[in-house]
């Protein structure tokens, strides 16, 4: 269960202070696929950063499986991100000089999993997202956008995270590929019992998720 209570993030902009996230409270049960929609600058990505422990909130609390993460120090936050969170980015953000397989193995290396186990798990995940055979040994530059996003999804699942945070996961893909990626995320949320929160502009995609949150000027409006 993901629980967010009165979450606020204030940025200083010159002499002014901007509330990017303003007293957001929400609950998402395990295994649900949630979407966050909102206009550009509404605070979607900031909320995702706060949920992913990439940033510390000004106020409020975030609990994952009853573990309060807002008070953790940097090293514990790295460990938390490594074990509990998976990220999927709009522009994939794969390491360009590593193969697809090595990219997926990377989070498991940070979790100090043995090399043979890492490799087996990475191969399994890549097969699961539909990237098989020799393509697993290709570097990102030799994969299509959809294939790269599949690798990114496999990477996000590597350490059996409780929560996958996807920031515009279909934003750089054509409609058909975007739909395939969305379906993949949806099915994984069920098969892996992982909570997925996706930020999107695409209302047709948002409409298919289990729950949708709408942000406006940093506030949750629905």
Partner 1 sequence: MNVFSRGLRNAFRNPIRTFSLVAILGLSIGLALAMLVAYQAVGQKISSIQSSVGNIVSISPAGVRGFEGGGNPLTTDQINPITKLPNVTSVTLSLNDRLTTADTSLVSSIEPGTLGRRFSQNNGDSFTPPPDATRFSSSGTRSFTPPVTLVGTTTPTILSNTQGGGTFVLKSGKVFESNSMANDAVIGSSLATKNNLTVGSTFTAYSASVNVVGIFDAGNSFANNQVIMPLATVQTLSGQPGQITAATVNVNSITNIDSVTMAVKNMLGATADVTNSSIQAQAAIAPLQNIRSISLYSLVGAVVAGSVIILLTMIMIVRERRREIGVLKAIGASNVNVMTQFTTEAVTLTVMGAVIGIVLGVVGGNPITKLLVTNSANSGTPAAGAGRLARGTFGGVRNNLTSIHGVVGWNIILYGLLAAIVIAIIGSTIASYFIAKIRPADVMRAE
Distance of closest approach, residue 1 Cβ to partner 1, in angstroms? 22
Residue 52 in contact with partner 1, rule: CB under 8 A? yes
> Which residue stretch of 77-85, 135-143, 183-191, 212-220 sits at the interface with partner 1 (rule: CB under 8 A)?
77-85
Q: How far, rounded to the nearest angstrom, does the alpha carbon of residue 175 sit from its chain's CA centroid?
A: 20
Is residue 34 a contact partner of residue 213, using CB atoms and an 8 Å limit?
yes
Query: Rounded to whole angstroms, how far apart are CA atoms 167 and 122?
Result: 22
Give the one residue of 167, 185, 195, 197 binding partner 1; rule: CB under 8 A: 167
Q: Which of 65, 68, 109, 193 binds partner 1 (CB under 8 A)?
A: 109
Q: Which span (34-42, 96-104, 123-131, 210-218) binds partner 1, by CB under 8 A?
A: 96-104
d(Cα 136, Cα 193) in Å, to the nearest integer?
A: 25
Task: Name which position in 54, 72, 113, 211 contacts partner 1 (CB under 8 A).
Answer: 54
| Secondary structure element (H or E) that encloses residue 205, with its range | helix 203-206
The DSSP result for 27-65, as a single string, is EE-TT-EEEEEE-TTSSHHHHHHHHTTSS--SEEEEEET
> For residue 134, what are its two tokens?
């020799």
How many residues contact partner 1, by CB under 8 A? 37
Measured in whole angstroms, how far is the alpha carbon of residue 3 from the centre of its chain? 16
Q: Is 91 a binder of partner 1 (CB under 8 A)?
A: yes
For residue 215, the SS3 value is strand
Q: Which of 105, 126, 131, 173 binds partner 1 (CB under 8 A)?
A: 105
* Interface with partner 1, residue 194, by CB under 8 A: no
Q: Which is nearer to partner 1, 40 or 222 (CB)?
A: 40
Q: What phi, psi does 82 have (nearest 5°)?
A: -65, -45
By CB under 8 A, residue 34 contacts partner 1: no
Chain contacts with partner 1 (rule: CB under 8 A) = 45-46, 48-49, 52, 54-55, 74-75, 78-79, 81-83, 86-87, 89-91, 93, 95-98, 102, 105-107, 109-111, 115, 155-156, 159, 167-168
């Amino acid at each position: 269960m993901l629980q967010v209570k009165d979450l606020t993030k204030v940025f200083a902009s010159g002499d002014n202070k901007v509330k990017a996230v303003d007293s957001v409270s929400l609950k998402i049960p395990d295994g649900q696929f949630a979407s966050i929609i909102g206009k550009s600058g509404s605070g979607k990505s900031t909320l995702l950063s706060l949920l992913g422990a990439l940033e510390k909130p000004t106020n409020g609390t975030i609990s994952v499986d009853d573990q309060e993460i807002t008070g953790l120090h940097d090293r514990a936050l790295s460990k938390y991100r490594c074990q509990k969170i998976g990220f999927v980015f709009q522009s994939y953000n794969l390491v360009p000089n590593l193969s697809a397989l090595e990219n997926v193995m990377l989070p498991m290396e940070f979790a100090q999993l043995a090399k043979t186990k890492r490799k087996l798990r990475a191969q399994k995940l890549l097969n699961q997202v539909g990237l098989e055979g020799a393509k697993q040994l290709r570097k990102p530059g030799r994969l299509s956008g959809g294939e790269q996003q599949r690798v990114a999804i496999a990477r996000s699942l590597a350490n059996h995270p409780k929560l996958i945070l996807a920031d515009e996961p279909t934003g750089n893909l054509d409609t058909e590929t975007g739909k395939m990626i969305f379906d993949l995320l949806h099915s994984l949320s069920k098969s892996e019992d992982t909570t997925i929160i996706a930020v999107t502009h695409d209302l047709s995609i948002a409409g298919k998720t289990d729950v949708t949150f709408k942000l406006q000027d940093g506030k949750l409006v629905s």
